[in-house]
Amino acid sequence: MKLQSGLEDFEKNPQIWSLIEQISSDECQDEAFYLCNIDEIIEKHRVWTSELPKVAPHYAVKCNDDIVILKVLASLGACFDCASQAEISKVVSIGVTPDRIVFANPAKPISHIRYAASVGVSDMTFDSESELYKIRNVYPHARLIIRIRVDAVDAQCPLGNKFGCDPIVAAPRLLRLAESLNLNVIGISFHVGSGCREPAVFRRAIKSTRDLYDYSKTLGFDFSVLDIGGGYPGVRGSSINEIANIVNNSLDEYFNDVKIRVIAEPGRFYVASAYTLTCNIHSIKNIYEEDDKGNITETHRMYYIDDGVYGSFNCILYDHQLVKPIPLVENLEANKISSSIWGPTCDGLDQVIEEIILPEMNIGECIVFEDMGAYTLPVASPFNGFPVPKVYYVFTSGAWSDLKETLALPSNIVKIIEESNIKQNQYNPERKTSTIFVDSAALKSIL
């Protein structure tokens, strides 16, 4: 059995941890909860625009469709990648104009294409003949982006088995068909795999798009969009610097003679590190072994927490995520014991950590999981009656004052948020900190 060490290499964000400690010590707080650090999202956007100044980010809504995140990103000027009618509708509903949306799903239900047409979302991807015929029938003026397949040799979630066409054989054939159907193909896209662990793939992919760009010219197309997809890391301590250097150099190498708008579809980069999940231990099972002499010792401890693989930890199954438990105890080194962590449902599959050495903990104590913002909440279900964790949003006063301007929140709403922020007083008795701490229900009801 492989031992996982969740206790290595972690550095606490003091502001977030002090809030977690205060909320979890609240007697009424006995359910799992998230802290969403909005400053982190704002910082990610700053990093993106400084590292990839020529690449317009289209946030992949599927990754975390929290309306607060969408509003913040919209207010910062980001664009959006939507994969379905519902995602488009959500983004349009917050006032984002259709030209800031790419419908980046190469296999779309006809009704979703019709809906995109009805709201004017015209940029959409394809990778097959049948998609071209569908689009010709219901949205002949759509602006199409061919998705080619270029796979990273190592990625957390490879996507090439499902999407993207072979750039050498299939893509030219599809472009010829599109041309014969009189369709408007405006660009090329790829997605190297989510959680890309091979930065060099971006150079291969950009070179491939240039070859196809040159071929498309021979058919009379004049491509204006290059979509370099998602795949950028987002957890604490990760960096997009290496990928950004490769992308920037490759764009200079292959596209410096061409006027083309470069866009990307980052998902986890923006949200992974912003969300920290705190779970409560509600039950414990001690496992004992008896030796030949009749001595009984505890050999293992099973902790049952209030979120599991049917909730936030679906990311273990679907997103191949390795989660790191951090016990909320004073001494991480005390009385360590082989342990496992289980979700709350009645399913034996509902296991969060198979085996790990942890300090001994008790019922009512908490375990914290960082980097839980990507591909967690949108997939979570309340199976067995265990609710999906609620989210608290944290803004520093700087972020809050900027945001209330850019979100153009009416003053009565700002007043409600600032006054409904009871927790701020409750959790900062000295009132020295500048954190604005907003309950999700309060914020969502007014956004």
Give the relative orientation of helices 397-406 and 67-76 as an angle to the nearest 10 degrees: 80
Tell me whether residue 79 is one of the annotated catalytic residues: no
Q: Closest CB to ligand PLP among 39 and 319?
A: 319
Question: Distance between CA 152 and CA 231 in Å, rounded?
Answer: 9
If one asks whether residue 199 binds ligand PLP (CB under 6 A), the answer comes out as no
Out of 37, 64, 122, 194, the residue judged to bind ligand PLP by CB under 6 A:
194
The strand ranges marked E within 13-122 are 33-37, 55-60, 79-82, 101-103
If one asks whether residue 44 binds ligand PLP (CB under 6 A), the answer comes out as no
Shortest distance, position 239 Cβ to ligand PLP, whole Å: 14
With CB under 6 A as the contact rule, which of the stretches 191-199, 392-400, 408-416, 436-444 interacts with ligand PLP? 191-199
With CB under 6 A as the contact rule, which of the stretches 45-53, 114-122, 227-235, 245-253 interacts with ligand PLP? 227-235
Q: Closest CB to ligand PLP among 122 and 156?
A: 156
Q: Closest CB to ligand PLP among 232 and 427?
A: 232
Give the relative orientation of helices 201-218 and 170-180 as an angle to the nearest 10 degrees: 40
State which of positions 311-370 bind ligand PLP (CB under 6 A). Answer: none
Out of 57, 167, 172, 267, the residue judged to bind ligand PLP by CB under 6 A:
267
Catalytic residue from among 82, 196, 346, 366: 346
Q: Shortest CA distance to 423 belongs to which of 136, 114, 128, 19?
A: 19
Question: Distance between CA 193 and CA 150 in Å, rounded?
Answer: 9
Instruction: Report the relative pairing of strands 296-305 and 101-103 from DSSP bridges.
Output: unpaired
CA angle 65, 66, 67 (to 5 degrees): 105
Shortest distance, position 114 Cβ to ligand PLP, whole Å: 20
Shortest distance, position 156 Cβ to ligand PLP, whole Å: 8
Spatial contact of 144 and 186, defined as CB atoms under 8 Å apart: yes
Q: Closest CB to ligand PLP among 239 and 286?
A: 239
How many residues belong to the site for ligand PLP (CB under 6 A)? 17
If one asks whether residue 373 binds ligand PLP (CB under 6 A), the answer comes out as no
If one asks whether residue 231 binds ligand PLP (CB under 6 A), the answer comes out as yes
Shortest distance, position 110 Cβ to ligand PLP, whole Å: 19
- Amino acid symbol at 298: E
Out of 44, 108, 112, 191, the residue judged to bind ligand PLP by CB under 6 A:
191
With CB under 6 A as the contact rule, which of the stretches 230-238, 247-255, 303-311, 415-423 interacts with ligand PLP? 230-238
With CB under 6 A as the contact rule, which of the stretches 4-12, 223-231, 316-324, 438-446 interacts with ligand PLP? 223-231
Spatial contact of 84 and 277, defined as CB atoms under 8 Å apart: no
Counted residue by residue, the chain has a size of 447
Out of 57, 164, 187, 230, the residue judged to bind ligand PLP by CB under 6 A:
230
CA 36 to chain centre: 12
State which of positions 153-182 bind ligand PLP (CB under 6 A). Answer: 159
Out of 19, 63, 96, 281, the residue judged to bind ligand PLP by CB under 6 A:
63
If one asks whether residue 266 binds ligand PLP (CB under 6 A), the answer comes out as yes
If one asks whether residue 229 binds ligand PLP (CB under 6 A), the answer comes out as yes
315-341 residues labelled b (16+ CB within 10 A) or e (exposed): bbeebebebbbbbbbeeeeeeebebbb
Q: Shortest CA distance to 315 belongs to which of 271, 280, 262?
A: 271
Shortest distance, position 311 Cβ to ligand PLP, whole Å: 20
Shortest distance, position 62 Cβ to ligand PLP, whole Å: 6
Which are the contacts of 395, defined by CB distance < 8 A and separation ≥ 6?
38, 39, 403, 435, 436, 437, 438
Spatial contact of 177 and 185, defined as CB atoms under 8 Å apart: no
State which of positions 281-300 bind ligand PLP (CB under 6 A). Answer: none
Question: Distance between CA 53 and CA 55 in Å, rounded?
Answer: 6
* H-run or E-run covering 284: strand 275-290
Shortest distance, position 124 Cβ to ligand PLP, whole Å: 11
If one asks whether residue 149 binds ligand PLP (CB under 6 A), the answer comes out as no
Residue window 68-107: x/- pattern of binding to ligand PLP, with contact defined by CB under 6 A: -------------x----------------------x---
In angstroms and rounded to an integer, the radius of gyration of the C-alpha atoms of the chain is 24
Residue 99, φ and ψ in degrees, nearest 5:
-70, -10
Q: Closest CB to ligand PLP among 73 and 326?
A: 73
Spatial contact of 341 and 305, defined as CB atoms under 8 Å apart: yes
Question: Distance between CA 202 and CA 127 in Å, rounded?
Answer: 19
Question: Distance between CA 209 and CA 157 in Å, rounded?
Answer: 22
Q: Closest CB to ligand PLP among 194 and 340?
A: 194
Question: Distance between CA 187 and CA 442 in Å, rounded?
Answer: 42
Active site residues: 346
Residues that bind ligand PLP (CB under 6 A): 60, 63, 81, 104, 159, 191, 194-195, 229-232, 265-269
